[in-house]
Amino acid sequence: MTLIESEAKYIQPTYTRQPITLTRGSGARVWDAEGREYIDCIAGVAVNVCGHCHPKVVEAIRTQAETLIHTSNLYYTEPQIKLAEELIHLTGLDRIFFCNSGTEAVEAAMKLARRSTGKTDFIASENSFHGRTLGALSLTHTEKYRKPFEPLIPGVTFVRYDDAAAIAEAITPDTAAVVLEAVQGEGGIHIASAEYLREVREICDSNDILLILDEVQTGFGRTGAWFAYEHYGVKPDIMTMAKALGSGFPIGAMASREDLLFGRGEHGATFAGSPLACAAALATISVIKDEGLVERSRTLG
C-alpha cells in the first residue's frame, strides 16, 4: 500500500491534497519522495515566514527539546514569560493569552469579549474567515464551512466588508464586539480602506463596543508591518495571532487591553504556551528582526 493509499484508508477525508509526498524543506524550497525540487509558494498557508527549517529556529527547538518540553500552566517557565514580553512590545497591547492555533485565539477573544462586556453578540463581515471551531466558525461567513454544522452560536450579524455605516446600523444593545480582518484572505484578497478601520474604531468607542482584529494570516511582517493594523493608525482592544508566530510549530496568542481580563480558571489550555512552542516563537521573531524581513516585505510586496 502506498503512502497516499494509506492516507485514504486511515485519515479522515477532510483535505484535498496535491499528489505529492514531501520529505524535506529548506528556505523557500521543498523536495518530494522522488527527489524532485519545488519552490514552495504556499509557505504552509501563511506560516513559514522564515522559510523551511531556518537554522536558528531549528537550533532553538532542539536546545529547548533537550531541556524542557512541557510542564502545563501550573508552573512558570522562562520562554513563556519572555515571549509574552516580546509580544506586548510588538503589539502595543497589555496582556497575552497563549493557545495552540488561530481558531483557539479567536475563541479566546470571543469569550473575553463576552466576559468583559456582559453582552453576547458579535458583528462580523461577509466573506470573513476566523476558524473552524464552533465559536470561530460562527464568525466565518462562508456557507460551505458553516452549513454542515448549523445551528451555530446565535447573535452573529454579518455586514458588508469595508462599510462602516453597515456596522453602525447593525449594532444592538447586546453587541459585545466587532470582529474584523484588516485584509481578508480566505474570502479573496480584500484590503480594508484606511477610512473604514478608523471609522469602525470611532463607532466602537462611541457605542462602548470592543474591536477585535484577527491578525492570524496578516501578522508578523506579511503586509510590510509587524501587524496589518499598524498601517491604519488604529489600535484594537483585542487581537489574535498564530500561523507565522512559530515557524510551523503550533502556537497562537490573543493580546488584549489591560482592563480586559479573565478570572483565575475561567479559560485555559493544557498545551498553551509550552516551553518548546515559545522557544520556536522567540526564535522566529528574532530571525524576522535580524534579517529585516518586515522591511523586506514592505519593499518587495
| C-alpha cell recorded at residue 66 | 533537550
Residue among 227, 251, 214, 228 at smallest CA distance from 47 = 251
The active-site residue out of 97, 98, 122, 129 is 129
The active-site residue out of 98, 119, 121, 214 is 214
Residue 97 · residue 262 · CB < 8 Å: yes
Query: Residue 53: left if φ>0, alpha if ψ -120 to 50, beta else—which one?
Result: left
| C-alpha cell recorded at residue 94 | 497589555
Residue 161 · residue 126 · CB < 8 Å: yes
Residue 285 to residue 296: CA distance in whole angstroms: 15
Q: Is 149 a catalytic residue?
A: no
Give, as one character, the DSSP assignment of residue 263: P
Residue 239 to residue 130: CA distance in whole angstroms: 12
The active-site residue out of 97, 122, 243, 249 is 243
| C-alpha cell recorded at residue 79 | 520562554
Q: Is 129 a catalytic residue?
A: yes
Q: Is 214 a catalytic residue?
A: yes
User: Which residues are part of the catalytic machinery?
Assistant: 129, 214, 243
